[in-house]
Amino acid sequence: MDRLAGVPAGHELLLRLAGRFPDELLWRLRDWLAAGDTAALGAVLPRTLLRHRIGLTGHERTLLAEVVGPDAPSRRLVEAVLPGTPPAPPAFTAGEPDLATWSALSVVRDEASALLLAVRDDGARVLLVRDAQRPHLLAAAVARLLRVHGDRVPRVEALTGDAPTEYHEAACTAAASLWSREPVPTG
């Protein structure tokens, strides 16, 4: 199997798991995905879902099956993952930018259309990148930059279009806009 075959499905699934999956693991899995290591992702993801009793919707289970692949040793675990629906999203507020978030802008500027900053009700900072061209690579690059600036657990959501989940909609609605690409005038 092509080692990059599960990358789009992996990115979408990890986006859908934001807010439900342990943040400490989510950024690491995104980093592995950016490196093209879908085998490691496929091995760890089903086990973590089972360990934390995180249920998946039918669509999410399809994405998981695509990430794990038909011949993977952990394929049997895909069917063991519980069915479920995403919980209500947490509350978000607008975040205050700092050096780390302004540094992230230098990475995002050529790859996306907007950068937003929200703070989750547990105090976690969440950077939201809209219309990312290569979302799996951009999320990992910004997360690494935030780690250099001292974030032990970076939370970067690289969205490819409209907010795909209630979690992202709630975050985007409350977030402070740090930067937005100006529309190019026509005519």
SS3 at position 7: helix
Q: How many CB atoms lie within 10 A of CB 157?
A: 28
In this prediction, residue 185 carries a pLDDT of 62
Please tell me the pTM assigned to this model. 0.92
Average pLDDT over residues 112-132: 96
Average pLDDT score over residue span 102-127: 96
Residue 1 pLDDT: 42
pLDDT-above-70 percentage for the chain: 94
Q: How far apart (Å, rounded) are the C-alpha atoms in residues 135 and 155?
A: 14
pLDDT per residue as tens digits for the range 74-86: 999 999 999 999 9
Question: Which residues make beta-bridge pairs with 8?
Answer: none
